[in-house]
Amino acid sequence: MATKKISIDVDESIIKSLGQRFPDLPDKEKVVASLAKLALSEWEQWFAARLRPKSISALNQERIQMVFEDQSLYSGKRVTRGLLFNQFNLPYGEASYLERVFAEKDIPDLSETALKSIYDDLDDQLKTWNKDKNRKEEQEFTIEVDKLGQRLLQLIMQKAKETGKQMAPSENVLKVHGYYNYTFSKEEADVVLTIAKSLMEVYAK
Q: Using H for helix, E for strand and C for coil, what is the string for the chain?
A: CCCCCCCCCCCHHHHHHHHHCCCCCCCHHHHHHHHHHHHHHHHHHHHCCCCCCCCHHHHHHHHHHHHHHCCCCCCCCCCCHHHHHHCCCCCHHHHHHHHHHHHCCCCHHHHHHHHHHHHHHHHHHHHHHHHCCCCCCCCCEEEEECHHHHHHHHHHHHHHHHCCCCCCCEEEECCCCCCEEEEECHHHHHHHHHHHHHHHHHHHC
Minimum mean pLDDT range among 76-80, 159-163, 175-179: 175-179
- Inside any domain, residue 5: no
- Inside any domain, residue 135: yes
In this prediction, what percent of the chain has a pLDDT beyond 90?
Answer: 31
- Inside any domain, residue 137: yes
Is 200 found in the same domain as 113? Answer: yes
pLDDT value for 137: 85
pLDDT value for 204: 66
Tell me, what CATH number does 155's domain have?
3.30.1360
- Inside any domain, residue 1: no
Confidence of residue 76 (pLDDT cuts 50, 70, 90): confident
- Inside any domain, residue 2: no
pLDDT at 138 over 70: yes
Are the CB atoms for 25 and 73 separated by under 8 Å?
Answer: yes
Q: From 81, 103, 125, give the residue that closes a domain.
A: 103
25-52 pLDDT per residue, tens: 988 889 999 999 899 988 888 888 888 8
Confidence of residue 176 (pLDDT cuts 50, 70, 90): low
pLDDT at 202 over 80: no
152-169 pLDDT per residue, tens: 898 888 888 888 888 888
Is 128 found in the same domain as 171? Answer: yes
Is 168 found in the same domain as 88? Answer: no
Is 50 found in the same domain as 127? Answer: no
Residue 32 structural domain: 13-103
Confidence of residue 104 (pLDDT cuts 50, 70, 90): low
